[in-house]
Amino acid sequence: MNEQQNDETVLNDLPDSVVHTKKRQFSIVWIVPLVAVIIGGWLIYKALSEKGLTITITFNSAEGLEAGKTKIKYKDVELGQVENITLSPNLSQVIVSAQLAKEAGKHLSENSRFWVVRARIGASAISGIGTIFSGAYIEVDFGKPGKKALHFKGLENPPIVTTGLPGRHFILEADRRGSLDIGSMVYYRQIKVGQVVAYQLAQDGKMITFKIFVHAPYHNYVRKNTHFWNASGLDVSLDAKGIRIDTESLATLLVGGIAFDVPKNTRPGDLSEEEAVFILYNSFEDSQQRTYTVKTKWLLHFDGSVRGLSPGAPVEFRGIQIGKVQDINLRLNTKDLSIKIPVIIELEPERLIPDVEFTEDTENKNVKEVPGNVKGIEHLVAKGLRAQLKTGSIITGQKYVDFDFHPDAPVRRVNLEGIYPEIPTLPSTIEEMGEKITKILARLDKLPVEQIGYDLRDTVQNAKRFTHALEEKKTVEHLNTTLQETQQLVAKLRKNAVPEITSALKQAQKSLNAAEAILSSNSTLQHKINIALDELAGAARSIRILTDYLEQHPDALIFGKGKQNED
Amino acid sequence: MKTRLPIARNASLISCHSCHLLCKGPKKYVVSTMKCPRCGAILHSRKPNSIARTWALILAAAIFYVPANVLPITTVISFGKAQSDTIMSGVIYFIATGLWPIALVIFVASVFVPLVKLTILTFLLISVQRKSTWHQKDRTRLYRFTEIVGRWSMVDVYVVTILVALVNLGSIATIQAGPGAVFFAAVVVITMFAAMSFDPRLIWDVKEDTNE
């Protein structure tokens, strides 16, 4: 009880707290969830606003691509990420779906291109080394604005030209692809200035068109008269100086290349515009052949057969080509039922270079006009210019049209009645020859062959008669005289030469007798010889005795003969 | 037996937070500021504004809980390959590689515990506000549990900070803390504050009130 009272007193004795009445305030703590809401809201807004488009790209292979990791980049700026990789229903392709940032989505169009950047080692370049460590990524080139698209076909190889690269595209037409490929270099004076971007077969399949890209500022060197040629591989030429091997660069040996330049001795023309079309020549030599833009058409009428002449056959002037045959027709004249063969040719008058530069105000009126126009040709025809069919090759029988001056040819003028002015022709040389031979034969025909035969027989008979006369008279006389002269000659020989021969014989007799006396058996010479021979026999004998002794006693040579009985 | 326990609040007594001086409060409970007559600290019979404050913090934590789990917590850059991981993707990774214990630890510490804390606190708040008398002892136990276990969720944040500091080998391997880590830390800290701001005595106040 006491304790409780005590407690109560203690409690009652406790001091009162100081009370400040204060209006209840909004708790500051609510700022925390407010901030959380703001941050959360901002995160949601950010996520929503950045949530881009989901695009799908098809590739042949998903090599190096990983869902949730592979990035989509443009100029090395991350724009998105691969979300999912699936196979197409027919298993032929890989469908990559990716999230692309919203701002990137604005630029997406059907012209956008996607390709996988991975390490590539080609003959001419190595690229994407960085991706060995970082992993492959998908690069995008947005391309020109166009229709919106969300499904794309991925490129298997990186495109050579990306949008915004300064330079120009050109189209080249060629017969063959050669060793050119996408990525083959384009050279200008052996400087790498561009690359082949694409190539495809023309629709009719008769040509290949290459699309090349020439980087700025080199595209300024592509003029309207620029010639492109295939610079692939080696150009080996053998001449008096030896073997020369030319190549644009080592790389063209491997991957092929294209070079271009303005042909020699020509002024560069105007700049070419984008996607201008050019011919791709097969070699530098081909490209250097001048092309002539001015072409005039003329008509020729040949009287004889035009067998062997075909469209495209050359038209030459003394062996130099000045044009070609365009067309050969067969025309029936319904009035007189005559058939003509009009041959239309194309001349390139630029090939004929006048010694005077023609200008509008050429005052020298004596200078004839260029042969490009009718008047110019008229002048030349007046001087005897004629066309003639000639055989180019005896084996194939191909013919060509030859122009030359024939001052003796019958005078004719340029016929201006038809669509094309007609240049007079001459019959071909073979025709001419044929005509001449016929003429000769005709003349031969007229010759009095029989009369000539008779005459000849008469002549022979006369000759016979003549020889008979000779036999009968003069020959016998001649023989008689010859015999007489021979008789005289023998008589002379007998008179002079015989006594001298007899004396010579007598002398020879004497010499022989003397020789006999010397050599007879009882002569002194014989006797002396016998004695000498006996002496020689004696000498030989003693030599034998000596040698025998020496054989037994060789020491006798040194010690002398000595005593005989010593043994 | 209806013996009234001598509860400080019923006796209008307030203990100072700072110097623990027991002093009389105003007779009637009014919303006002009381100061300790000895040390001058502000006196509260109960934690002021406890329910509202806890609610606010729980709400904030709940909001942050979403980005903490959605956003990547770490970004590992190894040989140029960047790989961002959220908490759950890390757990899934460990499960996939067969490291079940680690996955369990991460999941419990980083995903389950914060969530449980938030639910427990929400449950406590609601029950207090509804003046529930249901299992008051157990609810107090739950509260204690949240207070004790709360700080362990920070392990995750510590691991991330240590990793970021240690693994910095240039291009070979670098670990960067993701934005998720910040939100996760915010969740953990805010729930700790929420647990602190909750006054468990409120659970028992109901009893006294009903007894009264």
List pLDDT tens digits, range A385-421.
888 888 877 777 788 888 888 888 777 777 777 788 8
Within-domain flag for A17: no
The per-residue pLDDT for A540 is 92
User: Sorting pLDDT into bands at 50, 70 and 90, what band is A24?
Assistant: low
Q: Looking at the predicted structure, is the pLDDT value of residue A425 above 80?
A: yes
* Residue A134 to residue B60, Cβ atoms within 8 A: no
Residues belonging to chain A with any Cβ–Cβ distance to chain B shorter than 8 Å = 11, 14-22, 24, 27, 29-30, 32-33, 35-37, 39-40, 43, 69, 130, 133-135
What does the mean pLDDT of chain A come to? Answer: 79
For residue B202, how many C-alpha atoms fall within 13 Å in the half-sphere facing its CB?
22
Instruction: Pick the residue from chain A with its C-alpha nearest to B171.
Output: A133
Within-domain flag for A25: no
Within-domain flag for A566: no
Percent of chain B residues past pLDDT 90, beyond the cut: 0
Give the separation between CA A518 and CA B175, rounded to whole angstroms: 150
Residues belonging to chain B with any Cβ–Cβ distance to chain A shorter than 8 Å = 11, 13-14, 22-26, 30-37, 43, 49, 52-53, 56-57, 59-61, 63-64, 66-67, 71, 79-83, 171, 186, 190, 197
Asked if A80 contacts A98 with a C-beta cutoff of 8 angstroms, the reply is yes
Q: Choose among B24, B52, B64: nearest Cβ to A16.
A: B24
The verdict on A257 and A388 lying in the same domain is no
* Residue A19 to residue B67, Cβ atoms within 8 A: no
CB < 8 Å to B80, chain A? 130, 133-135
The verdict on A195 and A283 lying in the same domain is yes
The verdict on A373 and A431 lying in the same domain is yes
Q: Give φ, ψ of A173 to 5 degrees.
A: -110, 130
The verdict on A260 and A315 lying in the same domain is no
Q: Looking at the predicted structure, is the pLDDT value of residue B1 above 50?
A: no
- Express each pLDDT in A122-175 by its tens digit: 666 677 777 777 778 888 888 888 888 888 888 887 777 777 778 888 888 888
Within-domain flag for A1: no
The verdict on A211 and A117 lying in the same domain is no
Within-domain flag for A537: yes
CA distances from A132 to A83, A136, A376, B56 (A): 21, 7, 73, 51
Distance of alpha carbon A357 from its chain centroid, rounded? 36
The verdict on A310 and A382 lying in the same domain is yes
Given the structure tokens 């729980």, which residue do they identify? Answer: B58
- Express each pLDDT in A73-117 by its tens digit: 888 888 888 888 899 888 888 999 888 887 777 888 888 888 888
The verdict on A306 and A427 lying in the same domain is yes
Distance from the B56 Cα atom to the nearest Cα atom in chain A, whole angstroms: 5
CA distances from A85 to A51, A68, A117, A141, B82 (A): 19, 9, 17, 21, 19
Distance from the B55 Cα atom to the nearest Cα atom in chain A, whole angstroms: 9
Within-domain flag for A14: no
Q: When comparing pLDDT for A354 and B107, which is higher?
A: B107
The per-residue pLDDT for B212 is 44
**Strand-pair partners of A151:** A56
The verdict on A172 and A258 lying in the same domain is yes
- Sorted by sequence, the CB contacts under 8 Å of residue A110 that are 6+ apart come out as A146, A147, A148, A149
Enter the ipTM: 0.72
The verdict on A215 and A137 lying in the same domain is no
Distance from the A74 Cα atom to the nearest Cα atom in chain B, whole angstroms: 18
Within-domain flag for A208: yes
Within-domain flag for A515: no
Give the separation between CA A132 and CA A116, rounded to whole angstroms: 13
Instruction: Pick the residue from chain A with its C-alpha nearest to B48.
Output: A27
How many domains does chain A divide into? 5
* Residue A69 to residue B81, Cβ atoms within 8 A: yes
Structural domain including A135 reads: 48-153
Distance from the A103 Cα atom to the nearest Cα atom in chain B, whole angstroms: 22
CB neighbours (10 Å) of residue A374?
Answer: 17
The count of CB pairs under 8 A between chains A and B is 92
- For CATH 1.20.140, the residue range(s) in chain B are 48-211
* Residue B13 to residue A14, Cβ atoms within 8 A: yes
The verdict on A234 and A187 lying in the same domain is yes
Q: What is the mean pLDDT of residues B152-168?
A: 82
Least confident residue range of A34-43, A221-230, A353-362, B82-91: A353-362
- Express each pLDDT in A233-242 by its tens digit: 676 766 666 7
Last residue of a domain, one of A238, A267, A288: A288
What does the mean pLDDT of chain B come to? Answer: 79
- Sorted by sequence, the CB contacts under 8 Å of residue A506 that are 6+ apart come out as none
Last residue of a domain, one of A266, A288, A310: A288
Last residue of a domain, one of A262, A288, A314: A288
CB < 8 Å to A18, chain B? 34-35, 37
Q: What's the CATH class of domain B48-211?
A: mainly alpha
The per-residue pLDDT for A410 is 79
Angle at CA of residue B80, ends B78 and B83, nearest 5°: 55
Q: What is the DSSP letter of A219?
A: G
Q: What is the mean pLDDT of residues A189-218?
A: 86
* Residue B23 to residue A29, Cβ atoms within 8 A: no
Asked if A433 contacts A440 with a C-beta cutoff of 8 angstroms, the reply is no
* Residue A40 to residue B67, Cβ atoms within 8 A: yes
Q: Choose among B24, B53, B66: nearest Cβ to A27.
A: B53
In the sheet with A385-391, reading across from the earlier edge strand, the strands are: A422-423, A296-301, A342-347, A320-328, A314-317, A399-405, A385-391, A425-426
Q: What is the mean pLDDT of residues B134-142?
A: 83
Distance from the B60 Cα atom to the nearest Cα atom in chain A, whole angstroms: 4
* Residue A32 to residue B190, Cβ atoms within 8 A: yes
- Express each pLDDT in A459-476 by its tens digit: 889 888 887 877 666 766
Q: Looking at the predicted structure, is the pLDDT value of residue A537 above 90?
A: yes
CB < 8 Å to A130, chain B? 80
The per-residue pLDDT for A533 is 92
- Express each pLDDT in B6-39 by its tens digit: 666 666 677 777 787 777 776 555 556 777 778 8
